[in-house]
Structure 1
């Protein structure tokens, strides 16, 4: 027969707790991340997985899980912070590209070093081609570790000359100026360009003689738009047009780039400006939520010398979140460093210590809906075998005898359990075994009370020794024995009180000593009362006091006897 609960109201309240209903409470809070795709705040069924995303200016740390699971005990799995402060993508350098190894990285915490390789047309200097992420999460300045190859001194065309603007290295320009009476036919400059793995000056334009006319002519290339008081579009190969004073040819570089390029899955990371960027400006983008930067693709555009933005293409792609953490297995060393996991990606696992492989393949796949395929039981706990119970008791297996399982220990009637109430299948080296058994003992005096008796005896003997040395009589010995017994028993009682009310053994000893001294003084008082009386002669001038045994009673004298 099952009796009804004595506290029905308390039982009803407990049933409304998430753990009592097989639910987890509120998802764990992290300082640098928030849940990615749930609006629920509490009451998650067992087995629910919640994935988080890093806040802006933080990056997911490779190898750390971004997902928690509601476990069978209605508690969330623990996973710790997985987002870290990081430098942005390493700067794009005109003369060099990131090494293949560093190009794959997404996470650059303080102290990270990345290396570069010279581009074609450039050659290495003596400087080390590396930069470092500094404490303020910016990159150290890149030294000139790659320098352009030289094209040599440029030659001018016939009836003209080449004027070097800056230098004769790869990428440099030289303006072409024609002599008086000649006009330039072709580009106004030549440039040091790449040819194979070497460099050379581009093809020279020509300087042609000018035929004098009353109205000067200006030869403009096809498609040029002339801006002035009125716009004229040149549609002939070699038209002749008279330019009004102050007219400008549009298309010439203004020294600024216009509006930033737009990407479908990314936005600029750290700028509020929308246009008017000086040449050389670099703008880095960040991926939208649910998208991840594709390793090897650049996320930075540069304003080039022609006032146009460099082309980088889409660099963010949809991907599965971090692979789920499994109780029985860990991600392989190769897969733990990956951040970009698009549809079709497969990751493999390795069994944890205490587990052994099954016949199933230890791998899961990112599906088209960007969720991971269900993980089969490719690792299973090792067996500890049937557990043995202690003497006068037995072990009751709760679920199974595999690694991590528990068995409750139950003692026979009239015997008390000393130690934990269960044993567990635990790891020992690369094998498993049951943990140490508790004992089932017959009831007896608590060992702590025995210790209290010993402490009381020692203290009492010390006090008694002092009294004996001072008095040195048989009475003193009797007092010592009384004090010893009283204090020893009192300390034992005090320890029992301390254990019972939960104030600790040390406080129990103090209470016992206090009780002991009170009992000793009470005993001394009783002893005096029984063996001592005093007589006072009121007629005596000196008020002589004698003991009752020396008193002579007289009918003619008035005597008063006080007994104490």
Structure 2
């Protein structure tokens, strides 16, 4: 058996591509011609030329595989620069990734000099769901390595701990880099103490805790203390979620106003020898006099009457006192009006004049007489009703009717989730703040219902399918009738 020159020199065959390259070289050099015997040096030169023309592909080699995001070559393959066709390399998953079930961690150099497979060999590890946050909310869009979970608290609470955690590599796996935070009810400092008074005590002072102030008893024979300001304050919070009290505490001090007297007038209410904070007195003028000022005055915290005491002016032929109107206001408001002067009277909310109008104009006719003066009649004031909560109920504070400031607490039935604030306050005109919440079916119950519906649809489809083929089977197995036999013949 004769060997080719390449085999005799101990080199591998150049393969198909190498043969093609040789052919191209031959075409360039022209038709073959007999060469004089030059010895082995000529053969060696020809082999080197063919090796140079064929390159790496002529020898059937793959270049190093592309870098994968999820895996890296084992160390023994990472330093190699070329790989023969059919050779296989092994990978290991990078930190934060895990092998895809059923997928091999190897790649092979194919005859097309490409590595297969081309897709990723590993997938991202996943952290467990961080769990629920009491009195707060968890926002998680993904659980894969590198993803984040953020936290927030409902009104009146603030986070204690990190507001964001990240899924990171930990203990040869992945886990969250921090512990779950807590939502704590926003605390306030203890309520301020006041002179000559005290407040109610509480085990702790946190969001919505209320305290009430009371003045101390005055020593025997001394004037009593008056509470100036709001008696009750409550714990709330500012824009930075720091606990603050709703307002400054009240004051306890002695307030005394002098006994008021009005010339040409008299008291009709508020009789007494001593007047303290918020005591009131009502006056009326004697016949033939008209009042200039307010008929009711109050003892203020600065020991003076507010508004100032009225005066009584003698009625002349050409003037009128302010028209007395029930459930309405006079525009413009004055104590004395000249004869012929007109004013507008506007009824209060939910009130009208007997003929249905809400406003009317009257004119001073002198001698304290007004033309067409009528009182406003008012219908019943509407009070708030208990809001209707679908799939929920009021568990605290429910009444047949509500006044401004009343509060109720709402709870959803089992299987439903509350969307909104559970505790709301009535502000009048059948309105609540915050808005009345709703109860919506929880995601878990929704998933169960979807599964049940899917099973019912599947069973219905299976029943129709079975019935259809049962009828076709009966039709095919029915004995031939006479007409059928005739047609068949």
TM-score, normalization by structure 2: 0.24
What TM-score comes out, normalization by structure 1 length?
0.22
